[in-house]
Structure 1
Amino acid sequence: MSELLHRKLERTAVGFMLAIVAAASVGGIVEIAPLFTIPETVEDAPDMRLYTPLEVAGRNIYVREGCYACHSQMIRTLRDEVERYGPYSLAVESKYDHPMLWGSKRTGPDLARIGGKYSDLWHVAHLMNPRDVVPESNMPSYRWLATNELDRSSLSQHLSALRAVGVPYTDDMIANAAADAYGQAMPDSTQSSGVTERYGDETQVSAFDGVKTGVTEMDALVAYLQIVGRLTKAAHDHTNAPQQVSNPEN
């Protein structure tokens, strides 16, 4: 019976088209329906801060070099993951990530809590030659990042594009994007004070690659790695919050 129905459906153009629409609609509903529950499922993070222009540039380099193909940025709620990497990831932590970099493959470790775990110079050494700090690593080296000057000319456009998809960058942030990228990697420069004024006192201002003669792609990538998992403390607060215990008499 089902075979006859299938044959009849295939030979009727209108019917076959309607069947395709119905099947596609099921997939669409599955994808779209959860969006209506976002206000109830995404945690609040009043302390959420924005990526600085230098961190945005570093994130772009991270994507450009395919780092997401070997490193995920999403810690599951499984006990072994939490014990190894730290508090499990919350949806709100990716609020300003375009695109999101949760990933699914771990040739290397998850990086969701890498920010602040190691020093700037550790990251530089690791990117220059991973085997110097992790002997068993099979990660390729990225030496050229230390000599590639960072192109800051298009950072304002990057921030404008992010604002168009919901990231609340101000006109002042967009106008000063290039200067702020320079100032964050040049702590002794006059531009460095503007970074903390616009992005907060906790913003890391540092000669990330250890050199103060210019801003390199290494500066940008290390700046990004140092902020991963630190845009908000929501995950740590959520993990440390007292758990509600149900009354056994209820």
Structure 2
Amino acid sequence: MADVRALVDHYVELLSALSGVRAVLLGGSFARDAADRWSDLDLMIVAADGVAPAELADAALVAVTASNEPLLAIRRDSDHSCLVNLVLPPWIRLDISVTDDPRPGGPRMSLRQVYGEPIEITSSMEDTVDLEAAAAVITQLVRVYGLLPVVLGRDDLITATQGSHLVWGELVNLCLLVDPETSRMGALSKAQRILPEHRDLLLSLPAIAPDRESILAFHEAAFPDTPCSSGD
């Protein structure tokens, strides 16, 4: 972890030295002191008054990649912010966001200021389940599950297998929505974000293979109160 911390310090120092930087904030697992050597590094730059985020993003990209050519670089710009996703050798995942919002943050974000004049961070934590997201997950589950008799009746094992994996993914998403506190954690931390009892249930489901028996076994285990029909 010492090497990881040194890496954080390196990029914070690099970005804070840029002209037009009002503040630098550390995000994600590093902001929560929950990072490991696999964690990606999330940094947010708050631009000074009159400095365009796009220009500051240009400067940040030049500074970061000057001595380390990226394996992958993706950039997305909007009116008031820019996001740069980088993968640097040997395999450093670095996300840099630039904003001109003097009060950065938002729901379910973890941010900690590491450079600049003190600023107000509007990061907040909702303590309720996102009902709209839950409804979308349940709708998708019902839709895919409802197609099972059709695809098995047609002996379409490719679609049935694909649909079963979709069901697995939506069950994971549903478990993630149960405990809003875990939504602060990163997308690659699902094993830690899911409550232990739900994680055990997910891992106990039968493996999905492209054959009729395993597909039915998976669905019967996933939906024990809803008899599966083969479509015959």
Q: TM-score normalised by the shorter chain: which range applies? A: under 0.3
Higher percent of residues as strand:
2
**More contact order relative to length (CA 8 Å, sep ≥ 6):** 1
TM-score normalised over the length of structure 2: 0.25
Higher percent of residues as helix:
1
TM-score normalised over the length of structure 1: 0.24
